[in-house]
Copies of this chain bind each other. A is one copy, B any other.
């Protein structure tokens, strides 16, 4: 499945997120400088842990969305730089905390920070980054932007707790799973986009359009991530195929295969995921069951639904190269690896 991507990928700067990256390149350089300067601390452990993750080459999709959302309305100020950095810090803090909760070993193809510096350092540096994120938001001085981002921070934390409670429960319904990823992933994508419109002085209609775009893009993004974990090409992932499985994560492909399977298959899923007693042969069987029950295919179909919603959300915004770039991001998200 994975290598179909290479065939489908269009060449040139129009493909994937390159148009978006090009449009925000100058601002993004300033965001990166700000990120580096804001991870500085006399407490050496902080820049060490933070840089480990921040410099490990994430796509920085979320801050790019903030920058593009501000630029598309011709914003000429400075606030979007700090808001974009805040968004990336919130994301990084979540990753640090997630890896502790999930007991993950790897992140973006490297050892997870907690494997190098321990769980305590990961938790506390995550808190530090959250604190820095709030400081930067406050510096921008926009109460509506603060409102949206602080709300997202609360929702994300709520989502983490929700996930902890439903974790390893293979009987989780799709709606419950959607509620978790709406909180954990979609809320920050939505906020990232909406604060761009806010800082650019846009009204409620533009704010909502971008928030809706971001939320649905986030859902599509996460669902494709879920599917790629069982079908992706290693190199495209920054993580190994099957990491979610080994971590006992309940994701949509698992939910669908579990629900569509018979009793014996459900016992298999429960043993592997709830009891976390799985080996490499189990991963092969898991993938085979997903193929048999079309669980990966239908996860991608679900993602395409949210992708379609994201696209339509942008419909009322004026046509611009930025809007085109945001539409291409949806295509990139739903097509990567498939």
Contact = CB atoms under 8 A, between A and B. Distances in A.
A176 interface: yes
Of A174, A255, A302, A313, the most chain B CB neighbours within 10 A belong to A174
A174 B260 contact: no
Contact of A259 (B174, B175, B176, B312): B312
Contacts of A208: 173, 175-176
Query: A173, A216, A258, A259 — which one has the most chain B CB atoms within 10 A of its CB?
Result: A173
A128 to B, nearest CB: 34
A205 interface: yes
Chain A residues touching B, majority SS: helix
A305 interface: yes
Given A175-B215, A260-B312, 10 more contacts: A171-B205, A173-B212, A174-B312, A175-B208, A175-B212, A176-B208, A255-B312, A259-B312, A301-B305, A301-B308
Nearest to A210: B173
A318 B216 CA distance: 33
Interface centre among A205, A298, A315 (most CB of B within 10 A): A315
A183 B49 CA distance: 45
Contacts of A215: 175
A312 B302 CA distance: 12
A256 interface: yes
A286 to B, nearest CB: 17
A315 B259 contact: yes
Counting chain B CB atoms within 10 Å of each CB, which of A260, A309, A316 scores highest? A316
A209 interface: yes
Contacts of A256: 312
Nearest to A176: B208
B260 A313 contact: no
Interface in A70-125: none
Contacts of A258: 315-316
B216 A175 contact: yes
A174 B313 contact: yes
A167 to B, nearest CB: 15
A16 B224 CA distance: 34
Contacts of A316: 171, 258-259
A97 to B, nearest CB: 27
Contacts of A309: 174-175, 302
Interface in A274-329: 298, 301-302, 305, 308-309, 312-313, 315-316
Contacts of A205: 171
B315 A260 contact: yes
